[in-house]
Amino acid sequence: MSLTVVIVDDEPLAREMLQGYLKRITGISEVNIFPNAHEAFMHLEKNAADLLLLDIEMPEITGIDLLKKLTDPPLTIFTTAYRNYAFEGYELGVIDFLLKPIAFDRFSQAISKAKELLALKAHHSHMEEGQESGDHDFIFVKSGVQRIRLQFEDVTFVQGLKDYAIIHTPARKILLKGSIKAMLDILPAGRFIRVHKSFIVSVRKITQLDRNCILMNGQQIPIGRNFKDDLENILGMK
């Protein structure tokens, strides 16, 4: 897979570092670099990109403001020195959060995640019609000519990403066209709970809580303020 990447950062050294990292990764076909959000916005409104590497704290227009203004933003990875923006990034559908100074191995991992999501988008699945939640322990999803049986017991968590829902299981990820709210309506009530605007988790798979996040298989899943009471109730913590 070949990626078109846009870098937006007001720091020359940061732009140089990210560009250098991308040169070490295969499958990068084009890199466009901008020192501010305004120039990046003008470019992205007229040109398609697969991935946006976006700084947050920039003069005049922040990275968050840019992301909100874009009509159809590409997959986005925040690259910032400020840890406290991670949860807001999830609200905006950001796929990863890289904290400066960024190590190459961590950067490479984030690019691999972007490639994986783009590949899933190219072959996304959809639910077969006429299926409802309730008595069943599974649904069938269709990917091309294949029909995949998805056991609810295998689902660890579901992540909303714009118009898609990413279903995570230990064996695979399945990308479904549709909202995370639609997935909540299908998954069995009581066995799954929404913990954030962008996340649904399997209650049975929760093994560790750390203040405002759930740790599942090395993945940090944020707990939204509006969902915390329901989570604590279902876990018997209240």
Query: Rounded distance, CA 94 to CA 54, Å?
Result: 10
Q: Which of 165, 177, 74 is nearest to 124 (CA)?
A: 177
65 plus 140 within the same structural domain:
no
110 plus 166 within the same structural domain:
no
Does position 131 have pLDDT exceeding 60, yes or no?
A: no
pLDDT tens readout for residues 34-67: 999 999 999 999 999 999 999 999 999 999 999 9
Q: Which of 108, 87, 56, 62 is nearest to 196 (CA)?
A: 87
145 plus 214 within the same structural domain:
yes
CB 156 within 8 A of CB 202: yes
pLDDT value, residue 132: 55
pLDDT value, residue 142: 77
Range of the domain at 18: 3-122
135 plus 183 within the same structural domain:
yes
Mean pLDDT, range 95-121, rounded to an integer: 94
76 plus 185 within the same structural domain:
no
Residue 1, Cβ neighbours under 10 Å: how many? 12
Mean pLDDT, range 208-226, rounded to an integer: 86
184 plus 130 within the same structural domain:
yes
Task: HSE, CB side, 13 Å, CA atoms: give it for residue 179.
Answer: 5
Query: Rounded distance, CA 191 to CA 187, Å?
Result: 8
pLDDT tens readout for residues 177-191: 888 888 888 898 889
Task: Give the chain's domain count.
Answer: 2
161 plus 207 within the same structural domain:
yes
132 plus 190 within the same structural domain:
yes
Q: Is the pTM of this model over 0.85?
A: no
- Could you tell me the CA-to-CA distances from 117 to 12, 160, 197, 218, 236 in Å, in that order? 29, 12, 19, 18, 35
Domain boundary among 122, 157, 175: 122
85 plus 176 within the same structural domain:
no
pLDDT value, residue 129: 54
Mean pLDDT, range 74-96, rounded to an integer: 85
Query: Rounded distance, CA 43 to CA 59, Å?
Result: 18
Q: Which percentage of the chain shows pLDDT scores above 90?
A: 58
Does position 149 have pLDDT exceeding 80, yes or no?
A: yes
**Could you tell me the end-to-end alpha-carbon distance of the chain, in angstroms, rounded to an integer?**
48
Mean pLDDT, range 81-96, rounded to an integer: 81
pLDDT value, residue 85: 75
Instruction: For the chain, give the mean pLDDT.
Output: 89
